[in-house]
Structure 1
């Protein structure tokens, strides 16, 4: 199953055959959800996809929750291992939608897709917008492994960034990578040796992902002979990086890992920081 689904494909699915998730969740997202969402969509907040932390130096600003807590969340949404889950947001999947997709994949869930182009694409395709809040689903029990697969530790990132056989990708915008600005974390710059490949390069017209062939061509030109399994992706706090992990999967380049703590962890640990693009 491809990680992206088109609005036209979603229209063809019979009602009740998938669980639709509205993941615009941050800021005043609950209010926006109540003002209008795709009919039948369940609300999901970004804060449900991260553990609470008082110390971002250990895990970053959006550390992963425990898999047992994630299982409770999935159960509250009525998700079972057999469920076909489709998730959308209004940020071209650059925030909670891709993160939720990655987390489901990281606990072994296969049938999960992100709506390409997000909410606006669905509206443009004629989907009904509803203010009706769906009835709460019957809670289920979701079996999960002891941990999320596909993550990289801060030590693995430090080693990979200076290993010619590996690549660390920083998906933040160039001004943040270069240390020219830092709106969210305490220190500006980037991990020395990390390569800047901004996530918005995954997008084409209408905030939709490029085609699988285009994505593959772009990333093969970046990776060269390095296998996806030797790639670690990060951002500011481990959310937007999932956008690029999804793009790699769509391109048929599976196996890259997520550095969850990302810049929000690295920049608080007294580790080397670069600002010169190297």
Structure 2
């Protein structure tokens, strides 16, 4: 199953005999709560899920967005009507990072039929898709999480993969190089990691690049299907999930370092590299 689908494909599925459960996970880093935006208009039938409170655990030593407790996550998904073996489509405002986080969590906890709406709500509106302010009341789902279906790295695993495989840093290049660090305690990157900003996975229209173009991009960075093991990190495990999603579209399996730089940089015992990766 392709990890993403277009607005036209989603409209077709919603009109079919097996419509997917829709999750609205609009979110802005450091921005306002997106529940009011959801209340003012969302895809018909979509249930709002809050990233900070429901797709992450409390911030702390494990980073700004550590993984949520699997059982708590499962309860959120059941409240949203998620069922075993039934399709789920996740969307956000258009950036794709929050939707990818929900996609990754569902895949990691064992749900096999989950996809991201390419371009999110912006693409849906551009295609003439309807929105509503009506808040649904879905029947309770039966999804029970079984973690482990997607690769997951801790700090030691990320450090080891940077030496033995390919560890991609999904943040902006200037943060990777340590030129600026607007959020976390220290600027720079995991030694050996390769700069691969997730913003380069999409075009000017906000849609993912074609699978072949993504495959070429990642291959040039050393991450190719059937090649060395691949891992991804970012600031706090959100945009990194988007990179894992892009890799999946390109046919490359990748693990996520969920704690990412917000965990790594809090530990003074962890080494920090700055500047470009030596050629």
TM-score for the superposition, normalised by structure 1? 0.92
Distance 1:120 1:146, change over 3 A: closer
Partner of 1:60: 63
Partner of 2:12: 12
Is this contact kept in 1: 2:110–2:148, CA < 8 A? no
Shift of 1:34: 0.9
Does 1:28 pair with 2:33? Answer: yes
Partner of 2:57: 51
Is this contact kept in 2: 1:167–1:232, CA < 8 A? yes
Partner of 1:191: 190
- For the residue of structure 2 that corresponds to 1:206, the secondary structure is coil
4+ residue runs over 4 A deviation: 224-229
Partner of 1:122: 124
Does 1:202 pair with 2:204? Answer: no
- For the residue of structure 2 that corresponds to 1:132, the secondary structure is coil
- Residue deviations 1:151-176 (CA, integer Å, cap 9, x gap): 0111111122223xx01110000111
Unpaired segments of 5 or more residues in structure 2? Answer: none
- Residue deviations 1:69-118 (CA, integer Å, cap 9, x gap): 11111111110112211111114212x10000011111121111111111
TM-score for the superposition, normalised by structure 2? 0.91
**What CA RMSD, in Å, does the superposition of the two structures yield over aligned residues?**
1.7
Moved more, 235-244 or 106-115: 106-115
Partner of 1:214: 213
| Count of residue pairs the alignment pairs up | 270
Unpaired segments of 5 or more residues in structure 1? Answer: none
Shift of 1:9: 0.6
Shift of 1:227: 4.2
Partner of 1:2: 2
- Residue deviations 1:4-31 (CA, integer Å, cap 9, x gap): 1001111112446111111103532001
